[in-house]
Amino acid sequence: MTKDRQVAIPTARPAANEQRRLITPMRCLWASAVLTALTIVALPFDVSISAWMKQNHIRGELERIISLCEFFGFGWTVLFVAVTAAFIDRRGWRVMPRLVIGSLGVGLVADLGKIIIARWRPNADFAPQGFRETFISWLPWIWPEQLPDKWNRGFASFPSGHSATAVGLALALSTLYPKATLWFIFLAGMTMLQRVESRAHYPSDTFAGAALACFITAVLLHSNWLQSKFNKLEK
């Protein structure tokens, strides 16, 4: 008698569309909800954390590494990342619309939020006693008389555009290259840390920017029309 031979059946590799389910609309909505909660929780600690950062400024190579991580949320270097992806991905330039809309588009929405709420930046020439004093007014471009001076970047702390752009880029990259999802999220987190460490933003600003990015990404992923256009283009 011959023993039955077990034949191993190779498993098929998941298709690109299946891999993209690692980043889903529902997961992004949950992440947005958590980050919104963190925004609220961080508010009472914003001023003290910023003061601590000023007194305990990071030095040496770690400072340089954190500073360099700003590239993941800065407009021009984000565009460089998208162009690099277009060169190394077999789909070429067809991956760029997803990356540009998912990152720079999200960052633009965050920047529009700055004209709704005016808030002092931590590095501005202002010494608030509590987080409530950091907020100046609503709709500063409509009622500029409420501002202490002409509109400038010193009043544009909330939300963090860099954080929104970085998280949006991380999520957009993750839909294309799901194996590196944790790495992309790490880079986005480092960008958020850089904004706080450099005292360009309060922690709540970065959480709010990240929450906005997750919410917009959820909307973009939920749009069957837009996703069908992306998927058709990226074939």
pTM as predicted:
0.88
Confidence of residue 5 (pLDDT cuts 50, 70, 90): low
Q: What is the pLDDT of residues 8-37, one digit of tens each?
A: 444 444 444 444 568 899 999 999 999 999
Beta-carbon-side half-sphere exposure of residue 94 (alpha carbons within 13 Å): 12
Helix (H, G, I), strand (E, B) or coil at 228: helix
CA–CA distances in Å: residue 149 to residues 54, 133, 145, 153, 154: 25, 16, 8, 11, 10
- Given a cut of 90, whether residue 143 has pLDDT beyond it is no
Dihedral sign from CA coordinates of 98, 186, 48, 31? positive
- Given a cut of 90, whether residue 212 has pLDDT beyond it is yes
Q: What is the pLDDT of residues 87-140, one digit of tens each?
A: 999 999 999 999 999 999 999 999 999 989 999 999 988 888 889 999 998 888
